[in-house]
A and B are shown apart, each in its own frame.
Chain A
Amino acid sequence: QKEVEQDPGPLSVPEGAIVSLNCTYSNSAFQYFMWYRQYSRKGPELLMYTYSSGNKEDGRFTAQVDKSSKYISLFIRDSQPSDSATYLCAMSAGLRGGFKTIFGAGTRLFVKA
């Protein structure tokens, strides 16, 4: 079993839809949870970062962490064609995990105009 599971999609939605992207994980030591966006032929860019459980909002993006269920989500409101990309979740246990970062396989998102 992978430490981090992420549905690869692809996920296709109409413009303006609310998008929900999810990851599950098995390592209860993870404390740092990140979402990256990767456009085609580009390196990933950090989109959202959350420490421990809770929600974090930044514009149209909301990141949620439920450590009891080992489940994290990224919500995109009012999705735009420019949001079409691959979204990768990533996790780290910090010092306890030797500062390794584990990524999910990525979900490809298409937002249709």
Chain B
Amino acid sequence: EAQVTQNPRYLITVTGKKLTVTCSQNMNHEYMSWYRQDPGLGLRQIYYSMNVEVTDKGDVPEGYKVSRKEKRNFPLILESPSPNQTSLYFCASSSTPTSTDTQYFGPGTRLTVL
């Protein structure tokens, strides 16, 4: 089954404690992306990756890091989380960056930073 998986699904942490949210896809997609979703603001792109070792900033990259060492994995790293990073996070992948094919979204990770 074609899917994007994220872990963990729910996370409560404290300010400053480094965390990683994993994302994995099994469709051999080249393009992967991270979004955060906040009420009234919709989905905002954090980082995206065109392929292995190729990443670029989206609209709201501050406070986040990513890496793409393997095609299937695209982890999101928060080195020093702050309360304003409390949000719902989605990972997505597609075979093309312009979403001419279906862009698959993961189930989401709800992060709370106290």
* Contact surface of A with B, Cβ cutoff 8 Å: 4, 6, 8, 32, 34, 41-46, 49, 51, 88, 90, 92, 94, 98-106
Query: A100 contacts which chain B residues (CB < 8 A)?
Result: 45, 48, 58-59
* Contact surface of B with A, Cβ cutoff 8 Å: 4, 31, 33, 35, 40-45, 48, 50, 56, 58-59, 90, 92, 97-100, 102-103, 105-108
Contact of A99 among B50, B90, B108 (CB under 8 A): B50
Contact of B107 among A8, A43, A101 (CB under 8 A): A43
Given contacts A6-B42, A44-B43, A92-B97, 18 further A-B contacts (CB under 8 A): A32-B100, A43-B92, A43-B107, A43-B108, A44-B90, A45-B105, A46-B103, A88-B43, A99-B98, A100-B45, A100-B48, A100-B59, A101-B45, A102-B59, A103-B35, A103-B44, A105-B40, A106-B43
Query: A46 contacts which chain B residues (CB < 8 A)?
Result: 99, 102-103
Q: Which residue of B lies closest to A106 (CB)?
A: B42
Query: B107 contacts which chain A residues (CB < 8 A)?
Result: 42-43
Cβ-defined contact, A43 with B105, below 8 A: yes
Cβ-defined contact, A101 with B42, below 8 A: no
Query: B58 contacts which chain A residues (CB < 8 A)?
Result: 100
Cβ-defined contact, A34 with B105, below 8 A: no
Query: B48 contacts which chain A residues (CB < 8 A)?
Result: 99-101
Min Cβ gap A111→B in Å is 21
Min Cβ gap B108→A in Å is 6
Query: B103 contacts which chain A residues (CB < 8 A)?
Result: 34, 46
Q: How far is the CA of A44 from the CA of B103 in the complex (A)?
A: 9
Query: B98 contacts which chain A residues (CB < 8 A)?
Result: 32, 92, 94, 99
Query: B105 contacts which chain A residues (CB < 8 A)?
Result: 43-45
Q: Which residue of A lies closest to B110 (CB)?
A: A41
Residue with the greatest number of chain A CB neighbours at <10 A, chosen from B45, B48, B106: B45
Q: Which residue of B lies closest to A99 (CB)?
A: B97
Across the A-B interface, the 4 shortest Cβ-Cβ residue pairs: A43-B105, A105-B42, A103-B43, A99-B97
- Contact sample, A vs B, 18 pairs, CB 8 Å cutoff: A8-B40, A32-B100, A42-B107, A43-B4, A43-B107, A43-B108, A44-B90, A94-B97, A99-B50, A100-B58, A101-B33, A101-B48, A101-B99, A103-B44, A103-B45, A105-B40, A105-B41, A105-B42
